Amino acid sequence: MRGTIIYGPRDIRFEERADPTIVEPTDAVIRTVATCVCGSDLWRYRGIADVAQPTPIGHEYVGIVEQVGSSVTTLRPGQFVVGGFLTSDNTCPVCRAGAHANCQHGTGYDGCQAELIRVPNADGTLLATPEQPSDDLVPSLLALSDVMCTGWHAAVCADVRPGGTVVVVGDGAVGLSGVLAAAELGAERIIAMSRHADRQALATAFGATHIVAERGDAGVEAVKELTDGIGADSVLECVGTDESVVQALKSARPGGMVGWVGVPHVTDIPQEHMFWKNVGLRGGPAPVRAYLPDLLERVWDRRINPGRVFDLTLPLRDVAEAYAAMDERRAIKALLQP
Ligand SMILES: [Zn+2]
């Protein structure tokens, strides 16, 4: 089979690799139907995170089960499945508490931007659709593999409630998914912070009621003008830089909550924006398997269409172009088809 390897900054290659096989009895091997490039993959692509050696890459996928190990009970070959960006057993005490991203037996993957994928912990990671999906549902099912569950996690961590005010910092695929999550959770006012016309339009389609184009303190002031001068009940931080985290904390009202899902590249979190304002900060990698049953049903019933974040579709062999398009902001998110 062929799969994607990152060799270093801006060096993405699509190469012949050994076919994955069942290693543990809890494994499945799936044939990829669609995969994609994550904003977090770009940290290595841009050279901000180190690439010590050529490394298989990718952690978002949907596919068809090819093989299952001898102890897999909930899946059979031929099923269409969605899995999260980390594997989980769905049975350990941490998973039973709903924190699947921190599963005691959780793992990552050996590169999902590939034609075949070995999925450890198959029963606790993969969820099969009720039947084979029609082609138009595939992008939204793929979005559940990471961005939609991550945006949902931001909204849950930020304690978004019916009637509440929400600010979303970050207009990438996760931020836009966070807008959709906040709308689904009943927020009344959703302020999307975005400077790009195409992303503003999608944010509005996903339920944003206001757009703020300013950043930093000017952005915070604009938020306050829209929130009785106090800031928002809930703020979704979907970037992960010093500037964006501080902007998120400053945008929360006293006693408000920030849901933090932007992978942190932060040196310091100033306490004056938290303790003295009674502002909470909570977040981390999303427990995808905890959210999958509910979100899969919303997609299957066509109540939400998170796949709209994909604005570029390419053959998997053109994966390097997908990275370049996202790096240069020519695409919000690229979908890849083997
Ligand atoms: Zn677990």
> Looking at residue 230, which CATH number applies to its domain?
3.40.50.720
More confident residue, 263 or 122: 122
pLDDT at 226 over 90: yes
Residue 68's φ and ψ, nearest 5 degrees, are -130, 150
Q: 264 falls in which pLDDT band (50, 70, 90)?
A: confident
Same domain assignment for residues 237 and 310: no
* 3-state secondary structure (DSSP) of residue 224: helix
The rounded Å distance from CA 90 to ligand 1 centre is 5
CB 211 within 8 A of CB 195: no
pLDDT range class, residue 265, cuts 50, 70, 90: confident
221 and 304 fall within a common domain:
no
Do 155 and 278 lie in a common domain?
A: yes
Q: Residue with structure tokens 């796949």? A: 307
Counting the structural domains of the chain, the total is 2
CATH code (residue 122) = 3.90.180.10
- 304 and 170: one domain? no
The predicted pLDDT at position 269 comes to 82
What's the 276 CA to ligand 1 centre distance in angstroms? 36
Do 113 and 168 lie in one domain? The reply is no
Measured in Å, residue 58 CA sits from the centre of ligand 1 at: 22
DSSP 140-194: HHHHTTTHHHHHHHHHHHTT--TT-EEEEE--SHHHHHHHHHHHHTT-SEEEEE-
Same domain, 9 and 127: yes
Q: Which helix (H) or strand (E) holds 6?
A: strand 2-8
CA of 47 to the centre of ligand 1 (A): 32
**Do 328 and 233 share a domain, yes or no?**
no
Residue 326 pLDDT > 90: yes
The H or E element spanning position 314 is strand 312-315
Q: How many angstroms does the Cα of residue 248 sit away from the middle of ligand 1?
A: 31
Same domain, yes or no: 109 and 244: no
| Claim to verify: residue 274 and residue 313 sit in the same structural domain | no
Domain span holding position 205: 151-283
Ligand 1 centroid to Cα of residue 286, in Å, is: 14
pTM, whole model, 2 decimals? 0.96
Indicate whether 60 and 196 sit together in one domain: no
Which residues make beta-bridge pairs with 107?
Answer: 87
Average pLDDT, the chain: 97
How far does the centroid of ligand 1 lie from the alpha carbon of residue 267, in Å?
30
Residue 88 Cα to ligand 1 middle (Å): 5
CA of 177 from ligand 1 middle (Å) equals: 25
* Confidence tier at 267 by pLDDT (50, 70, 90): confident
The partner residues of 80 in beta bridges, in order of sequence, read: 64
What per-residue confidence (pLDDT) applies to 188?
A: 98
Residue 43 and residue 24 share a domain: yes
CA of 287 to the centre of ligand 1 (A): 10
Domain endpoint, select from 261, 283, 305 = 283
Q: What is the per-residue pLDDT for 20? A: 98
221 and 244 part of one domain? yes
Q: What is the pLDDT of residue 73?
A: 98
Residue 266 reports pLDDT greater than 90 = no
- Return the pLDDT at 164: 98
Nearest to 334 by CA among 309, 304, 298, 317: 309
For 129, residues 6+ apart whose C-beta sits below 8 A from its C-beta are 79, 80, 81, 82, 141, 296, 300
3-state secondary structure of 43: helix
Q: Which two tokens stand for residue 85?
A: 């960006």
